[in-house]
């Protein structure tokens, strides 16, 4: 079987998370992804440990780097050097896609901006990921995930209610970066499809800030329709009730009721069938209006039995409910084994790199798990020979010039 992007070459000039996440997805789908890194240093996240892979520790194989750089080959190029810049231009001339997430204007200063590279290779898909986009008053500002979560609205709806202690919270993973990477990968695929029709590539601009705003989804609509800014609600849902965590006699679990039929089933399962017929709770809009009273009644009932009991009773009634598992449980339980959620690939050092599976399952063009996250620059010679036909003498000269 073949991979869906087996004919696509990607020059991944990004680092940290948003760009590398997009590049990893394309690599999972079979693209030849070449990661361009700084000589001797590499991607910042190579040093974001512990934890580390292998016994050496601190050798550039941090867990953070491993999470987002599988199915890539690593080459080192000094893009601050004119010879290194020429090398990137040559590689870009043979690429289908280029991904970069430098601060706006940086690539232009190196002579590697979208305009010049597209002139040299009109079929190139050039994807820029920045904090605030390539235009506008904030285009030159840097940005990291946490401040994007804060300034683009996510933290205002994440955390305990305003009246409770704790204050605004960020999500426990760099979700603004990851979602920008997801938007970038889908945009790249759309542009590749457009190229089939037009024969030409284009420049894609994916800002972290705009991406974060876009995927606030129903919370955006709640404001646009009501004029009222959503607030923090803990685990509760602004449009659905009951849809939140409850405490049992020995722990917590998450109940997610999405419609009136599920609510009636949940009421029967917990021994409170009368609630489904109560006009205060019989439809979703009524439950939203009387949220506080309903939650109190349900919480009093749930406190009487264990989490395991309620999970069994509610699941048996077809009600969406689940335990609040930690990551250790998620990645080591029976379901994780059944779905092969964790895989291992040996790198060139002989270390077995643990990886979390791509969730997509193609029936005819399976996801690739061919390459462990690469060691710094381990494929430089290989890629220069394959992509550009360079000789050993030419590669040696580049090293002598500190261009690679």
Task: Quote the tokens at residue 309.
Answer: 């009991």
Task: Quote the tokens at residue 233.
Answer: 């609600």
Among 372, 396, 373, residue whose Cα is nearest residue 384: 396
How many CB atoms lie under 10 A from the CB of residue 257?
25
Task: Quote the tokens at residue 293.
Answer: 């009273």
Q: Transcribe 305-332 into DSSP letters.
A: S-HHHHHHHHHHTT--EEE---HHHHHH
Output the CA–CA distances (angstroms, integers) from residue 282 to 125, 239, 242, 274, 310, in the order listed: 53, 15, 12, 10, 22
Strand (E) or helix (H) holding 202: strand 202-207
Angstrom distance (rounded) from CA 259 to CA 240: 8
Q: Transcribe 128-160 into DSSP letters.
A: EEESS-SSSTTTT----HHHHHHHTTGGGGSSS
Quick one: DSSP state of residue 249? S
Angstrom distance (rounded) from CA 297 to CA 291: 10
- What 3-state class would DSSP assign to 395? helix
CA 396 and chain centroid, separation: 38
- What 3-state class would DSSP assign to 130? strand
Choice among 32, 96, 177, 210 that is catalytic: 177
Among 8, 14, 324, residue whose Cα is nearest residue 172: 324
CA 58 and chain centroid, separation: 25
Output the CA–CA distances (angstroms, integers) from residue 218 to 172, 238, 339, 345, 376, in the order listed: 21, 9, 31, 39, 42
- What 3-state class would DSSP assign to 203? strand
* Residue 250 bears catalytic tag: no
Give backbone dihedrals phi and psi of 202, rounded to 5 degrees, phi first: -170, 170
Q: Which alpha helices (H) appear in 199-306, and where do they start and end?
A: 208-214, 218-226, 260-269, 274-277, 284-289, 291-302
Task: Quote the tokens at residue 256.
Answer: 């997610």
| Catalytic residue IDs | 177
């Amino acid at each position: 079987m073949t991979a869906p992007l087996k004919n696509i070459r990607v020059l991944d000039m990004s680092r940290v998370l948003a760009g590398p996440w997009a590049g990893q997805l394309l690599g999972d789908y079979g693209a030849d992804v070449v990661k361009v890194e700084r000589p001797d240093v590499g991607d910042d996240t190579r040093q974001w440990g512990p934890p580390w892979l292998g016994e050496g520790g601190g050798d550039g194989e941090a867990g953070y780097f491993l999470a987002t750089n599988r199915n890539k080959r690593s080459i080192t190029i000094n893009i601050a050097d004119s010879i290194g810049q020429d090398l990137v231009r040559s590689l870009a001339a043979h690429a289908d896609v280029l991904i970069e997430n430098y601060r706006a204007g940086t690539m232009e200063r190196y002579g590697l901006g979208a305009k010049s590279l597209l002139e040299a290779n009109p079929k190139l898909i050039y994807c820029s990921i920045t904090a605030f986009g390539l235009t506008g008053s904030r285009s030159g500002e840097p940005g990291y995930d946490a401040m994007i979560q804060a300034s683009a609205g996510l933290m205002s709806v994440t955390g305990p209610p305003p009246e409770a202690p704790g204050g605004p919270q960020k999500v426990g993973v760099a979700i603004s970066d990851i979602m920008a990477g997801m938007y970038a990968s889908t945009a790249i695929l759309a542009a590749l499809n457009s190229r089939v029709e037009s024969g030409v590539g284009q420049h894609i601009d994916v800002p972290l800030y705009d991406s974060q705003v876009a995927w606030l989804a129903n919370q955006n609509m709640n404001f646009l329709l009501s004029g009222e800014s959503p607030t923090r609600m803990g685990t509760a849902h602004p449009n659905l009730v009951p849809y939140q965590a409850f405490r049992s006699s020995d722990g917590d679990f998450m109940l997610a009721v999405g419609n009136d039929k599920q609510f009636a089933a949940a009421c029967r399962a917990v021994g409170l069938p009368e609630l489904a017929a109560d006009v205060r709770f019989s439809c979703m809009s009524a439950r939203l209006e009387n949220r506080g009273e309903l939650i109190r009644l349900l919480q009093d009932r749930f406190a009487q039995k264990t989490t395991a009991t309620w999970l069994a009773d509610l699941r048996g009634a077809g009600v969406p409910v689940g335990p609040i598992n930690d990551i250790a449980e998620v990645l080591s339980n029976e379901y994780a084994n059944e779905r092969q959620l964790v895989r291992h690939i040996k790198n060139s050092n002989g270390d077995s790199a643990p990886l979390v599976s791509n969730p997509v399952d193609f029936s005819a063009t399976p996801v690739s798990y061919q390459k462990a996250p690469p060691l710094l620059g381990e494929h430089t010679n290989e890629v220069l020979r394959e992509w550009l036909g360079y000789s050993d003498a030419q590669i040696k000269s580049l090293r002598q010039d500190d261009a690679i």
